């Protein structure tokens, strides 16, 4: 049996696990970081929790005779990706990064691209007084000194410092454009802050902001080394995982 490890937690990881589950001769394990209290589980075998850094992951790959690794984690899970690259290299296991395409601005969009959350906090304070913050629960503390009012939307409650003037809205997408417009109007939002995660599940907020003429502070993705194989195509990832050596 050929063994494939999927570092998952995304819709792409679940789709890949489902696709590979139908491949004969494959033993597929999906690994989730365990940061979400009630995650959507992929089909097949699942392990939840960290590996103990790059060294721990490299040991796990060796001990479990893994033949290929697909990093299908969130585009902003940069620490996991960095560890996966180092571990695969150390263990001599082929690695492919599966990433959904980035969002790109269209006609009518008022995007302000920033490199990180610190820059996002500065830009948001300059652009509006009531901010819809959709970056997940991690990193919210970058906005803790902000003077604006924040609607913090996340799946689970933040465990770090939050802005003094804020409200937490626990919700899991996907959301429709009408849903997003209603939320923005109800809370009198005048600026949206988000990460360039890409994908269709959470893109409705961008169309809603465009419709309402609101500025969007868009945090750019961390880069991936040019030497690492990357694809956005699940079928290509399926073929690679079944045959890479």
As annotated, the residues of the chain forming the CATH 3.40.50.720 domain(s) are 2-101+222-243
Q: How far apart are CA 150 and CA 146, in angstroms?
A: 9
Q: How far apart are CA 71 and CA 31, in angstroms?
A: 10
pLDDT at 173: 85
The gap from C-alpha 164 to its chain's centroid, in whole angstroms, comes to: 26
**CATH class name, domain 2-101+222-243:** alpha beta
Q: Quick count: other Cβ atoms within 10 Å of Cβ 1?
A: 10
pLDDT in tens, the chain (245 residues): 899 999 999 999 999 999 999 888 999 999 998 776 678 899 999 999 999 999 999 999 999 999 999 999 999 999 999 999 999 999 999 999 999 999 999 999 999 999 999 999 999 999 999 999 999 998 999 999 988 999 999 999 999 999 999 999 999 888 999 999 999 999 999 999 999 999 988 899 999 999 999 999 999 999 999 999 999 999 999 999 988 66
Contact 166, 151 (CB under 8 A): yes
Angle, helices 11-21 vs 234-243, to 10°: value is 50
Distances from the Cα of 217 to the Cαs of 112, 164, 211, 228, in angstroms? Answer: 5, 20, 16, 29
Q: How far apart are CA 241 and CA 236, in angstroms?
A: 9
Q: How far apart are CA 114 and CA 73, in angstroms?
A: 22
Bridge partners of 27, per DSSP, are: 3
CATH placement of domain 111-219: 3.40.50
DSSP codes of every residue in 191-217: EEEEE---SSTTTHHHHHHHHHT--EE
Burial 93-123 (b: 16+ CB within 10 A, else e): bbbbbbbbeebeeeeebebbebeebebbbeb
Q: How far apart are CA 35 and CA 14, in angstroms?
A: 16
Please report the sign of the dihedral spanned by the C-alpha atoms of residue 133, residue 139, residue 141, residue 146. Answer: negative
């Amino acid at each position: 049996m050929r063994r494939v490890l999927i570092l998952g937690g995304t819709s792409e990881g679940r789709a890949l696990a489902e696709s590979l589950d139908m491949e004969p001769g494959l033993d597929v394990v999906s690994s989730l970081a365990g940061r979400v209290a009630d995650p959507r589980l992929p089909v097949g075998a699942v392990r939840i929790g960290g590996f103990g850094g790059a060294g721990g992951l490299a040991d796990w790959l060796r001990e479990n005779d893994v033949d290929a690794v697909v990093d299908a984690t969130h585009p902003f899970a940069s620490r996991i990706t960095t560890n996966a690259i180092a571990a695969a290299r150390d263990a001599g296991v082929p690695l492919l990064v599966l990433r959904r395409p980035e969002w790109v601005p269209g006609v009518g969009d008022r995007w302000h691209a920033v490199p990180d959350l610190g820059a996002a906090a500065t830009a948001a304070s300059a652009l509006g007084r009531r901010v819809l913050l959709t970056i997940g629960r991690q990193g919210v503390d970058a906005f803790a000194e902000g003077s604006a009012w924040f609607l913090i939307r996340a799946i689970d409650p933040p465990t770090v410092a939050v802005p003094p003037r804020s409200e937490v809205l626990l919700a899991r997408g996907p959301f429709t454009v009408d849903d997003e417009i209603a939320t923005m109007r109800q809370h009198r939002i005048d600026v949206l802050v988000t990460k360039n995660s890409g994908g269709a599940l959470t893109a409705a907020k961008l169309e809603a902001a465009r419709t309402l003429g609101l500025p969007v502070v868009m945090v750019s993705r961390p880069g991936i080394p040019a030497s690492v194989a990357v694809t956005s195509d699940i079928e290509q990832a399926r073929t690679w995982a079944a045959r890479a050596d």
